[in-house]
Each structure stands twice: as C-alpha cells, then as structure tokens.
Structure 1
Amino acid sequence: MILEEILSDVGDNGRFQIIFTAVITIMEVVIAWSMLQTALIGATPSWWCIDPTTYGFPNMTLNNATYQTCSVAADVVTNGLVNGYVNGYSNSTDIPTTTLAAATSSMSCVRYYDPGMVTIVGEWDLVCERKYIKAVINSVQMAGVLVGSVMAGQSSDSIGRRLTCYVTMVLHALTCLVSGFATTWQMYAVFRFFVGGAIGSYLVLHYVYVIEFVRHTWRPYLASIPAWALGAGMLCLTAWQVPNWRHLNFICAGLTVPMVFGWFVSPESLRWLAARGKVEAAEKVVELIAKINGRTKATDTSEQLSLLAEEEKSHGQQDKKYTYITLVQGGWKNVMKTLVLGFAWMSLSMSFYGIIFGVSALSGNVYLNMFLLSVVEVPLTLSTAFITVRIGRRWTSSLFFFLASLTGFGILIADRAAAEETRGTIISVVAICSKLFIAAAWTCMQTFTAELYPTVIRSLGLGAANTAARVGGILAPFVLEMDTPYDAVRCYIIVGSIMAISGLSVLLLGETKGKALADTLHQEQKELNI
C-alpha cells in the first residue's frame, strides 16, 4: 500500500504519533463526562411527600410514611392542594412564593427534596406523574448524538477530519455552558440535544482521525486507551464533591476550552488528503511528520502520492461525493456488513447506556456504583489490544459479546437463587461485570469497524455504526428502564439476549487482523474478503 510505505519511511510510530494521539484523544475524557453526566444529574435524591398544612420548618416531619410517596391521605389536606419543590432552603419563609402558591386538584402534597443533592429531578420535580420526563431528556440527548453521528460521517469525508473535529469541540463548549443556565426542563432538553450532536460528531471522528497516521499493529492499542473510563471516573469524583447539575455543566464546558487550541498543532489527515487528490497538502503533512519524528521523507514521495491520486481518479472516485448509500452499494456482502455492524453497535449502546442510566437501581451509593462501573473496565479494555492482535478482531469481539450475554443472564440466576440479604450486592457485582464485557466488546468493534471500510468512506462507515448505536441509546431509557431492582432483572434478560445475537452475527464478517488500511473502494474490493 502506497501510504503505508510513505508512513513507514517518515515514521508511523514515533514522536508525532504520540503527540497527535494525545491531542485528539484527551478530548474523549471530556466527551465521556458530558455523555454520562446525565446518569448523575438525573439521579433521584431523597424526597418526601409533605402535608401542605404542616409544610415548612420547623414543623415539617420527614419520616418513612412520607418518604417517596406520591400523595398523602386526603383527610390531612386542607386549604387546597399544593405541588412544588424545595432545594437548599433553611427556612420556610425563604421559599419562593411561586413554589408554594399554586393550588391544584391533581396533587395532594408538597414534595421536599434533599438539598444535599441538586439534580434536575429536584429542580423540576421529575417524580411520580412527571417521572417520564427524565427518560425524555435522556432520549433527546441521544437523538442529538444520532444527528451528530450522521452529520460528522458525511462532513469529515467531504470537508476533512480536522475542520469537523474542531468545530465539534467549539460547539460542545458553547452548548455545555448554556445548558447550565436552563430554567425549564424543555429548555434543558433542547440544549442537551445540541450537546449530544457534538458528542456524536466526536465519537464518529476521533478514532478515524488518529488511526490514519499509524501502522496497522498500533490500531488496537489506540482503541484501548482508557480515556472514556478516565472521564467517567473524574465525573463521579467531581459530582460526589460538587453535587449540583448546573456546576457540572459549567465544569464540562470549561474543560473543553483548552482542547480547541489543538487546532494549531493538528494537521489534516494524510490519507484523506491523498485520497482526495490534494497532493501538495499531503506532501506538507509528510514533511511535518518526518520533521517531528527526526526522519527524512523519500525522494519519490510526491510521485507516490500522485500515483495514489491518479488511481483514485482512474476509477472515477476522486471528485465523487460519497454518501451513506455508498456503504450498501457493490453487492450483498456490503449490505450484510453494514447491517451486522449496525445491529452490533445498536445492541452495545442500548445495553451500555441502559446500565449507566439505571445505576440508581443498584444497591449502594450512586456515585460509588457509577465510579466502579467506570474504572473496572480499564484493565480489561487495555488487555483487548493484546487479545485482538493475537486471535483477531472478529473472534475477540464475539468472545466479549458472549461473556456479556452470560453475565446478563447471570443476574436472573442471582435474583432467583441468591439469599435475600446478599442478593442486591451479588446483582450489583454481576451488573458491573456485564458492563465490563460490553465495554470490552465495544472497544474491539471500534477497531474492527474502522478497518472494514476504506479511507474515502471510513467516517461514513463509522458514522452509520454510531447512528445505529444512538438509536440504541434513544431506546435505552424506555426499553431498559431500571428504576427498581425488579426492572433491572427484567432488563438484563434483554441485554443477555441481544448480546448473544450480536456475538453470533459478527462471525459473519471478514477478519482484518494484520491487513493494511484500504484507501480507495478499488483497494477494498481487492484487499478484503467480506
């Protein structure tokens, strides 16, 4: 492969690759924070249903009879029925009149939320008959991720990886900032849609952008960098110390700002430039890589790049505008590949975010559970690189799908067989293992999917897979609603089933282990037997 040889000459595993990978991948820490914070800022704090006639300090009584009860007995309600929330007030006279004033026949108590945990649930009273709104907000964000995935796949293959990547970062910083100023749940949902768009764009693009500068043996290791787990862990520790949803949005926006300056040190993808016939620009990138790596480019670099451009042009592809339709053209094998990858990514996303959004259903502290769900995946995620290098992408992916399936069904067994005093702990441990294997399978699929498509449509391929994943994410809050331990058991049966189907389906795909990345559709047809 022409570009493989050029990169080998100037260094495909040197100082440039380390710096560039760090600059692009560090943003994943912030993206993970942004995506997963919904699980914590949407957590339900302790709350009580208080008789309106005794509401306020010091007469208000908080006890088990009023804890998380949607109404109180009718005979204790006098002078109208009041619905409101209190968050952080130490004296009843400080509570805004609008909170306590409106009388309504549909409510029979005033809800008091624990001021020690300021979430959108307490902010906008998202319990009881308004409980569904939390799932709506989660799904709206996932819809934004879906739209961002579609647009980034098309954009990065049309106008380049670099511009798409950094426009995404600017959008993320701005939308996270304004999210923290939302005054209604509807306003917040709209802002989170645009945050989701930035998240989806980055998730499609960043891995493609990085692997196009390295040799094939490095690709699995890049996918296993635990940036996502690091971001999730940072979120949990920060939310534990700063349990305020507005502040978490502001912090996330602030963390994004330094990433934007990576624009000044990030070149356009060499492969994208070469495949698009931009020979002069591609040669400048080669010179930059050679300079940073302390190497010298070959004297015939320009001729080699021109040869690749001519090859693309000779097949009528250089000026072609690729679209998602291109992914299913060229025969039934391409259709099958796209469908299999789409189902696998949808299953992974639905299961992964179903577990994350349902973390409050697990026994124990919500922050600790979230932290454990995040950090335990690091050792196995790192090991996936070594496993995929040895046994291949296809078998490694299938292995982790089946392990996720077994642990999913294991929760059903634990629910039926474990003693009552240990049941909650056992289910939590098995749930953590299930999420661990799902994360490992997703790491493998990221490498596998990127390698199955040539450079000219690689972002489109990952965009389609990510779009399918976001459909799964949108469905997750509804299909895998885990608000109670009973719901969690039922949902893990679904997880076990779709993981097993995915584990079988990926075996239909061709192996990409040890193969150079194809740059054109013509090369793909020759190199990959899929």
Structure 2
Amino acid sequence: MSSKNKTYLESLVSQLPPEQETSEELLSCYEIILFGLGISYYGVPLAARDIDVNIYLSETLNAVVELPSFVITPIILERVNRRSSVLVNTLLGGASGVLCFVLSVLGKTGIAFAFELATFFCARIGFNLMAVYMVEMFPTCVRSSATMMFRQALVVGGACCPLIASIGRDLPSVSFAIFGVAMSGLGLFVLILPETKGSSLCDTMEEQEKRDQAINSSCC
C-alpha cells in the first residue's frame, strides 16, 4: 500500500468511534476480501481462453451468468447472515476454480467450463454481498470514503489478474486454481468481521456508538 493510501486509511480510521470493533485491521480485512474477489471476478473470464471452448460463446455466457446474481443476492441477504453467506460463497467459488483446473487437465472440457462459470458467478455474488456488508458496517458520514477504498481494492485485484492469467500459457488452466485459492483463502478473513444483519443504519458516529453499546449489552 502506498504512503498516500496508508495516510488516507489512517485518517479514516481516526474518524471511527474508538469503542467500535472497527479498526485498521478490520478495514484491512474488507480490502483483502475484495482483493481476492477482484482477482477472480476480472481474471476468470480473461483466462477462459485456456479452456478448449469457443471464445465467443464463453465470453457471452460469462456475461449472461451475471444477470441471475442480482436476483439471487437479495434472497441470500434476506435469509442468511452476512458472514456465513460471504464465507460459503467464497469457499464454493474457490472449490469451483480448483475443480475447473483439475477437469481441464483431465480433458473434460465441458464440465470444466461449467465450473469456470460457477467461479465467476460466485465472484459476482461475493461482490454484491460485500457491497451490502460495507453499507451496514459504516455510518453515513464515512460510508462513501470506505466504499471508495474497497472499490479500489477490487480494482487492484483486477489489475493483478492478467499476470496470473498469463501463467496459463505454460500451464494450461492452472490460473483457475490460483483464482479459486485466492477467493477462498482471502475470503476466510470474513470470520474476523462483525455480523451486521438486522442492525440499523447509522448516520453519525454517536448513533453507531449507542447502537454498538446496545448490542454489546444484549450479548452480555
């Protein structure tokens, strides 16, 4: 992280309530998760050429699978808590990436491509879930700044994916395994984050402090 970004991160953290569980480490967890999702979201379609399928068909289907994610995400958010949904989604996406690599090596192209689509679909769902997670986590006065930082982490992950995808020139489809491991491995950081499902959105730091104190009291 550059000194400029680090200074900005520290200034954002200094605005957060000291009693809130949010800290620089917590903010870093969000960025790490989105970095892993960014690598997979931007990298998987880029590496699709490593699978022996029609490139035009593969890119079209990768675009099409994004559409159901906007219908499924609200259902997940309504029925499952935030940490569990992100964790399960990233683990499934990671497993799909690894299976895509294994099946591609075994020559089962059609099934491998199906798992490629599943990996991309999970990356899209993960981004949707994290977007809502961030909104619920931060009060309005710093929410825009926090969202901007996390989007930056997503884009940085996307900037790294061409390097990973290029590995497939020498080891066909191995990039899918790397994308999968990155998504699932970095997704484990969600276990450090607090649960926000059902919590009210706050506009100021004072409101958030009161909300967190009420939550802590009820848990004791």
Matched with 1:526 is: 210
Partners of 2:44 and 2:179 within 8 A in 1: no
* TM-score under structure 2 length normalisation: 0.82
Give distance in 1, aligned partners of 2:37 and 2:86. Answer: 11
Matched with 2:49 is: 360
Aligned-pair identity (%): 24
Output aligned runs, 1:241-256, within 5 Å. Answer: none
Give distance in 1, aligned partners of 2:123 and 2:87. Answer: 11
Displacement after TM superposition at 1:409 (Å): 1.3
The gaps in structure 1 that reach 5 residues or longer are: 1-149, 151-322
Matched with 1:175 is: none
- Structure 2 residue identity aligned to 1:412: F
Partners of 1:327 and 1:334 within 8 A in 2: no
Matched with 1:511 is: 195
Corresponding residue pairs, total: 204
* Alignment pair present for 1:415 and 2:113: no
Displacement after TM superposition at 1:484 (Å): 4.0
Give distance in 2, aligned partners of 1:466 and 1:339. Answer: 13
Partners of 2:51 and 2:104 within 8 A in 1: no
Matched with 2:121 is: 436
Partners of 1:394 and 1:509 within 8 A in 2: yes
Partners of 2:97 and 2:180 within 8 A in 1: yes
Give distance in 1, aligned partners of 2:151 and 2:50. Answer: 27
Give distance in 2, aligned partners of 1:524 and 1:356. Answer: 40
Q: Which residue, 33, 53, 59 being the options, matches 1:344?
A: 33
Output aligned runs, 1:365-514, within 5 Å. Answer: 365-416=54-105, 418=106, 420=107, 423-481=108-166, 484=169, 486-487=171-172, 489-514=173-198
Displacement after TM superposition at 1:385 (Å): 0.9
Residues 485 and 443 of structure 1: is their aligned pair in 2 closer, same or farther, counting only changes over 3 Å? farther
- Structure 2 residue identity aligned to 1:352: Y
Give distance in 2, aligned partners of 1:351 and 1:481. Answer: 14
Partners of 1:324 and 1:460 within 8 A in 2: no
The secondary structure found in structure 2 opposite 1:496 is helix
For the aligned residues, what is the CA RMSD? 2.3
Give distance in 1, aligned partners of 2:146 and 2:50. Answer: 35
- Structure 1 residue identity aligned to 2:182: I
Give distance in 1, aligned partners of 2:41 and 2:167. Answer: 13
Matched with 1:202 is: none
Partners of 2:139 and 2:205 within 8 A in 1: yes
Partners of 2:40 and 2:119 within 8 A in 1: no
Which digits, 9 at most, give the CA deviation of each residue in 1:245-271, with x for residues without a partner? xxxxxxxxxxxxxxxxxxxxxxxxxxx
Displacement after TM superposition at 1:376 (Å): 1.9
Output aligned runs, 1:45-444, within 5 Å. Answer: 324-329=9-14, 330=16, 333-416=22-105, 418=106, 420=107, 423-444=108-129
Deviating runs (4+, > 3 A) in structure 1? Answer: 330-333, 482-487
Partners of 1:450 and 1:461 within 8 A in 2: no
Residues 485 and 438 of structure 1: is their aligned pair in 2 closer, same or farther, counting only changes over 3 Å? farther
Structure with larger RCO (C-alpha < 8 A, sep 6+): 2
- Structure 2 residue identity aligned to 1:430: F
The gaps in structure 2 that reach 5 residues or longer are: none
- Structure 2 residue identity aligned to 1:509: L
More helix by share: 2
The secondary structure found in structure 1 opposite 2:23 is helix
Partners of 1:414 and 1:426 within 8 A in 2: yes
